[in-house]
Structures are given as structure tokens and as C-alpha cells.
Amino acid sequence: MKASLPLASPVSADPDRSRDRIQFSDADFRIIADLAMRDFGLFLTPAKRDLVYSRLLKRLRALGLEQFSDYCALLTSAQGEVERAAMLSALTTNVTHFFREDHHFKLLREVALPPLIKSARDGGRVRIWSAGCSAGQEPYSLAFTLLSLCPEAARLNIRILATDVDPEILAKAETGLYPDDERKAIPEAMRKFIEPAGANRFKVAATARELITFGKLNLIENWPISGPFQVIFCRNVAIYFDKPTQAKLWARFGELLSPGGHLCIGHSERVAGAAEPMFRPVGVTAYQRIAGIAGERAARSTMETSLQNISSARQEGHPK
């Protein structure tokens, strides 16, 4: 995993290192790293071993297990699916906030949304996807931006899809409830889309919530959704994946985006690999899907590469 990956706190800050460590063998680490890659595309290099230890120790304690080997046995058992999801939650961060990386919302306001709103007002269909939406601040920020330009959005064919692999964080997102101290990240003019909800909390107003459909979706598996999308936000998620998984993800987004559609990714991410010719950079970590021959040729070749990867993975007996 890359140095910039926002996993747990630095090893030196890990209080468990000074105590007797529960044995965490190379084999235990390998099992966990392989499962994390197989199920979630999560790329754990040996350099992350101490971080994995400290994060998963909490899971062992919660489950009343004394050995990592017992934990690995649970993960690989027929009942392991639920714990594998909990493992992912423990290993990744859900950090997010309203209007994070504000330059993307400026791009939406000033460039991407006006023609889409015009098209929707003329009867067109507009779809926006927040992929890896965490606790919901990202799709709600998208909804606020949209509503500030198009108050009647709910009556038009404009919708936002918000997905994440973590069902717990999705359940939180769906409530639309946040602590009051998150209010300050929302521009004043958009605070009309939130309302007090008692006990130092606020709730996203129904006008914004009704634009969004939340759903569980693992980005490295099949996507039971149909495009095209005109805007895709997938920010600070691909950072967990290795380069080939990232390259495949960009290509899949390229295939789902309408020509001229926008892709916004995280501050330390970059579209690279075979999908690169499908996009042109249009700002900081923002891309536009290229229409025409170059983009289509790239789409075809990335599709062929994906098919080859799938067939060679099958031959090697790897899930991809």
C-alpha cells in the first residue's frame, strides 16, 4: 500500500507495541492481505503489517479471540463474510466532510452542472454517482450544490446515486444526521438545506435527501447499475487499491460516463494506465470523458485488457 494511504496512526504511536504482543505470524498477515485484496481490492504491503496488527487487535478483542490464527480461521470460514466486512471497516478510514476538496464543487457549479440542468429542464436524464460515499457528506454536498442551482431538481429527472462497500457507514449516511460542528463546512447560502435535529445535531432536509439513493456496492465487484452517468465522484477510495485495480476502475468509470461527463477523484489519486486516453484533465484531480475516436478506442482496449485479465485470473484460479 502506498505511503499516503490513510490507514491507522503511525506505528510509533501504537500503545500495543510496548505490551506483550499477541502472536501475529507471517502466515496470518498473508491470509489477511490476500483476503483484503480478493474481497475489496485493498492492497496491504508488508510495510503495513504493524498497522494491520493494531487495527485488527481491536477486532480480536471485540470478538473475544486470543490469537490471530483464530481470527484468520473465522475470516476464512463459511461464516466469515460479516467479519471480512468488519475487517475492511477496521483497515480503512471513513474520514470525510461536507464540501471536501471544494474545487470539485466549484467545477460543478461553474462548468459541469449548468448544461446538465438545462438538459434536465428540457426533459433529459441526469445521473450523478458518489462512489465510496462514506457517511454521506459527499452526496449531500452534491445535492446542496445541485439544489442551489436548480431548486426544482426533485421534479426533474436528476438523481444522485451514493454507494459504499460498508453497510454500517451507509446506514449512518441514510439518516442524514450530523453533529452541529460539521455545519460550519457548509456554505452559509446552502444551510437552508439542513435543519436542527435537537441534541447538538442537524439533519439534511428532505428536499436534498429525496434526490439521493443509497446502496451497497463493492467497487471491485460487478456493478448492478446502468449508466450513463454525467458526473462521477470517486474520491479517496482508489488510494486503497493497487495500480492495476485503479487502472481498471478508471476504465470502468470511463465506460459508464457520457461523453463530456466529469470524473472527480481524490487529492492524491491520478487517472493512469490504459484508460488515460479516455479522459482529459480539467482541473485539480478532475477529468472529462473524451468523446470521439480516441476515447472510444481506449474504452475498447481497456475492455479487452479487462477480459484478458479475467480469463488469465480464472486460469490461475484467482478471483479478480
Ligand X SMILES: C[S@@+](CC[C@H](N)C(=O)[O-])C[C@H]1O[C@@H](n2cnc3c(N)ncnc32)[C@H](O)[C@@H]1O
State which of residues 67, 93, 258, 305 lies at the interface with ligand X (CB under 6 A).
Answer: 93
CB of 97 to ligand X, least distance (A): 7
Told to judge if 297 belongs to the known catalytic residues of this protein, a careful annotator would answer no
Please give the grid coordinates belonging to residue 13.
504511536
Strands, E assignment, the chain: 126-131, 158-164, 177-179, 194-196, 201-204, 212-216, 229-234, 257-265, 279-281, 286-289
Check 50, 55, 166, 209 and give the catalytic one.
Answer: 55
Q: What CA–CA distance (Å, rounded) separates 274 from 249? A: 11
State which of residues 54, 96, 285, 302 lies at the interface with ligand X (CB under 6 A).
Answer: 96
Identity of the residue numbered 14: D
Q: What CA–CA distance (Å, rounded) separates 103 from 88? A: 29
Q: What CA–CA distance (Å, rounded) separates 164 from 217? A: 5
State which of residues 220, 231, 257, 271 lies at the interface with ligand X (CB under 6 A).
Answer: 220
Q: DSSP secondary-structure letter at 111?
A: I
Cβ closer to ligand X: 175 or 218? Answer: 218
Cβ closer to ligand X: 84 or 127? Answer: 84
Residue 291 phi/psi, 5° resolution? -90, 160
Q: What CA–CA distance (Å, rounded) separates 289 from 300? A: 14
Cβ–Cβ < 8 Å for 235, 264: yes
State which of residues 50, 83, 138, 255 lies at the interface with ligand X (CB under 6 A).
Answer: 138
99 binds ligand X per the rule CB under 6 A: no
Find the part of the chain contacting ligand X (CB under 6 A) among 92-100, 199-207, 247-255, 310-318: 92-100
Using CB under 6 A as the criterion, what x/- string covers residues 166-185 for binding ligand X? x--x----------------
CB of 91 to ligand X, least distance (A): 9
Please give the grid coordinates belonging to residue 238.
482508489
Cβ closer to ligand X: 136 or 254? Answer: 136
Cβ closer to ligand X: 41 or 261? Answer: 41
Q: What CA–CA distance (Å, rounded) separates 103 from 109? A: 10
Check 28, 39, 50, 164 and give the catalytic one.
Answer: 164
Comparing CA positions, the residue from 120, 122, 128, 127 lying closest to residue 156 is: 120
Helix orientation angle between 113-121 and 137-149, rounded to the nearest 10 degrees: 60
Comparing CA positions, the residue from 61, 48, 73, 80 lying closest to residue 22 is: 61
146 binds ligand X per the rule CB under 6 A: no
Cβ closer to ligand X: 140 or 202? Answer: 140
State which of residues 186, 219, 286, 290 lies at the interface with ligand X (CB under 6 A).
Answer: 219
Q: Give, as ranges, the residues between 223 and 242 that touch ligand X (CB under 6 A).
A: 235-237, 240
Residues noted as catalytic: 55, 164
Binding site for ligand X (CB under 6 A): 40-41, 92-96, 100, 132-134, 138, 164-166, 169, 218-220, 235-237, 240, 266
